[in-house]
Structure 1
Amino acid sequence: MTIYRRIRAAATLSVLLLTAAACAQGGNDPAGPDPGPVSLESDVAAIRVDYTGGFSTPAMLASRIPLIAVYGDGRVFTQGPQVMIYPGPALPNLQVQTISESDVDALVERALAAGVGEAKDFGQPPVADAASTRITVVTSDGEKVLEVYALEETPEDGAGLTADQVSARAKVKEFVASLTDLSGTLGAGATGQPTAYVPTAVAAIAEPWVAGDPALPAPPEVAWPGPALPGEPLGPGLDVGCVSAAGDAAAKVLSAAATATSATPWTSEGKTWTVHLRPLLPDEADCADLLAG
């Protein structure tokens, strides 16, 4: 089991216990001195912001990329600009840049100041089928998790929420915004230039391929170069599975994906599949790490 999988398992248990005890969304309620930054291994995420749940397909849920992931050595992973064409590229535009380790510590402190690690009531806005924003932070006092439903969809007029709930949500939203503008948050020159992330491992979430608009030319089929699709099912009764490839196998998948699109029909063992490719981050080893969240 990878470090990340243990972290996510612990985070899930923490959230469940706090929900039962406080009937509120939030994280660990610290006792004693305030926690602070902790020296981390390079492949451990100090801060990670994910979207969870919401109205989407199982394949899309499993292949989501974090909004941002900041690692102990200062690497920062984000999704870069997307090409506005259809079908889009097979691979997401995952980018990496660097900040100093002292700036990693500063961001951890900002997260704690925003309420990560506290049991807070964020309320339940009258919004259906929205995703939740989950913030995971590793500190000297352990891991802290905060989860807010429909953070981005919080009504401007505060409908359905108390003034305290609106204020708590605004604080978290401001922190998330600070992560997406690191140059503004940390100062000019604090961030390195983003470059394309070249993963050493990749996950493939496969579902049966369905033909598109008959008026458009059908995309050419491509033989899948990785482990046999569809892999392990995502859940009971789902014709959607996940496989992962590392090393040479990952290199073959990435090479084939470079000229493929999101609509490419991939053939494997006599069947045709739509494949959602998800580069694995430094602390993710295989499909189980994606499904743990």
Structure 2
Amino acid sequence: MRTWRGVRITCLGVVLLLAAACAREGSGAGDDGPGGSGGDPGPADPNGVVLRVEHVGGFVAPAARLTRVPIVTVYADGRVITEGPHLAIYPGPALPNLQQQRIPLDEVDKLIEQAQAAGVGSAAAADFGRPSVTDMPSTRFTVSSATGTEELEVYALSEGTQGAGGLTEAQRTARTELQKLITVLTDLAGTLGPDTVEAAKPYQAEAVAAVASPWQADDNGIAAPPEVAWPGPALPGSPAAPGLDQGCVDVRGAEATALLDAAALGGAAAKANARTPWTSGGKRWLVSLRPLLPDEAGCADLPVD
């Protein structure tokens, strides 16, 4: 399935490079290393999304859909946030493994060009077909600039490149190009060179969205984790989305610091996981935590598709 919205993308690099050049001319500041801005204030909206790849839809639980994070997001100021490797443990960590890097503004333009070459934002998009598998998510590619936003959705992208039926050889080839693009965006050191890319570090969220529902014991005989007192606003909060019975609250400031410390693997408190019963208002709650990204303000910005 292909979904297009907005107007035809023009080259973002010219806009970004001119903005950077004007800022440097006015400040007289120089470069301060890989990914550094050298005092350059950068684009007017540093939190603007330039490139994003994410999964949407599929047969997943509502809480998992609301709290899943994009595969990769590239921001207008050169920040890149990706989801790192998952730990193969049960219960899993309470927080996703989000990593942040930074690249120079001219390298942002190179990523835009590679996305367009792979078919994102192209007026003559390839035919990606639809493999004969069910309940799989689609992969959504978003390219944004000052002139508008383009989106491309491809159903069951990885399954379609792994031998699923219902596709022509040309459709498989087109899907492979998008898979290569994801590799390009998630391996920046290999794509742009290690000296160009700031070393990855854990993403430090300023706020967390918490999706809550009544806690219930597993039916697999595994003992419940210890209860932990909920440090944020009273649960369950407001409905997370129309038609869903989960609530959602935004956790900020000192409450967010306490929550992140309790939920971070290896943190100072490190006492919560994905199955922890959080206590609030005399009840126990199962809470799915979603660190808010720079372009997100709260629960209302969580993905619902």
Structure 1 length-normalised TM: 0.84
Tell me which amino acid in the other structure corresponds to 2:293. L
Q: Deviations over 1:6-42 (max 9, x none)?
A: xxxxxxxxxxxxxxxxxx51435866x9533343421
Superposition pairs for residues 69-148 of structure 1, below 5 Å? 69-118=73-122, 119-148=125-154
Alignment-derived partner of residue 298 in structure 2: 286
**Separation in 2 of the partners of 1:174 and 1:134?**
15
Q: Structure 1, residues 60-93: CA drift from partner, whole Å, max 9, x if none?
A: 0000011011111111111223333222221222
2:185 is aligned with 1:179: yes
Q: Secondary structure at the match of 2:11?
A: coil
Whether the 8 Å contact between 1:88 and 1:262 is mirrored in structure 2 is yes
Map 1:173-252 onto structure 2 (within 5 A). 173-212=179-218, 215-235=221-241, 238-252=244-258
State the match for 1:59 in structure 2: 63
TM-score where L is the length of structure 2: 0.81
Q: What is the CA deviation profile of residues 132-180 of structure 1, one whole-angstrom value per residue up to 9, with x for unaligned ones?
A: 1111111353211111110011054463123432232222222112112
Candidates 246, 260, 271, aligned match of 2:283: 271
* Secondary structure class of the residue paired with 1:152: helix
**Partner Cα separation in structure 1 for residue 252 and residue 263 of structure 2:** 15
What amino acid is the match of 2:159? E
Q: Cα 1:30–1:239, aligned 2, differ >3 Å: closer, same or farther?
A: closer
Counterpart residue type for residue 60 of structure 2: S
Name the CA distance, whole Å, in 2 between partners of 1:217 and 1:166: 45
Question: Partners in 1 of 2:147 and 2:172 — Cα distance?
Answer: 28
May I ask how many residue pairs the two structures share in their alignment?
A: 269
* 3-state SS of 2:51 partner: strand
Contact 2:100-2:203 at 8 Å conserved across structures:
yes
Distance 1:36 1:86, change over 3 A: same
**Percent same amino acid at aligned positions?**
51
Distance 2:236 2:88 in 1: 28
Please provide the CA RMSD for this pair.
Answer: 2.2
Q: Which structure 2 segments of 5+ residues have no match?
A: 17-42, 265-269
Contact 2:143 2:151 in 1 (8 A): yes
Q: Distance in 1 between matches of 2:3 and 2:244?
A: 31
